Structure 1
């Protein structure tokens, strides 16, 4: 059965390029970006993992940890990491799960026979510190992921978890946000949003980002 938003991310124990991973323990109180790639030593995947490594400081600022997974064995991951570091001018700074027995792939429905019969598709899960799935994305094999978008979603989730707001289309950190329609008490609105708001429609109220 496919995992849905709000489901608890399944726990697992599996080997990785950095030793055994007990997923829930490893995640701790962090956000996690769990993402699968079809295979080691493939061009798009190499650029994806290289770019993820370059975003290491950005993940840390958000209390987030990336975790990659494919069905390749550990020794393949270690050899490929050398290639990633050399060709992408970076240093891989996160684990890659070696899911040779497809335990993780099956738990997270990462193998889609109509797309790639024996390999994991490009799936992304954003998982919060409560181990709840907050975002799922699946890309075609030919299309590399936009990891800046993944960071943007984490920013939105962390903001909207803490304030009664939602983020509009193409929102970037620092842009105006939307007051949620369920908040109608004007005294509470004034307390929560002292910079005021602009009502385009009664249901569309824009306010400066409250944590700025």
Structure 2
């Protein structure tokens, strides 16, 4: 294939291609983009990875793939898991960075047992007069009491959250039946640095109003 080419000709060709490559890098590419962008385009696919214990892979996948399908549908991502010895290598791909991170949080929550002090992103699934139930992972749900929804007094649960909202909560207690007590208030204090207000009356039953003197006189007729 190089019949008729002398060493001098090959050397000259290599030198010219080197100069051309340097010209393209310096004069074309560097002028177009001098340094990498701080973040990817919102339209560019993103890939996140994490690891879980291999014996937790079946829990993340679920029966007939139910759990992993729910994660993919909720977060609009693609999840792949490869087992490597005692480790499960998890790959999460998607367009939205926050949704990818949400999927990672769910997977890590499934693969580990919640413990007091741990924080999670969860979805509000039910609203009650006394608080909101938040699912931090498939099959793992806890209660955020109305007094733990905000740093200030909350009259109505729906003043702060509604069904379907994604909120960050902290596990404050796990009772002897394994039920989770969660707090959004503590996250706002510890992470966001908000100043707490006295909202302790939220969990106290309202007391009947004592009659005033005028009321008493009216009763005497």
TM-score, L = length of structure 2:
0.26
Question: As a proportion of its length, which structure holds more helix?
Answer: 2
Question: As a proportion of its length, which structure holds more strand?
Answer: 2
TM-score, L = length of structure 1:
0.27
Relative contact order higher in (CA < 8 Å, ≥ 6 apart): 1
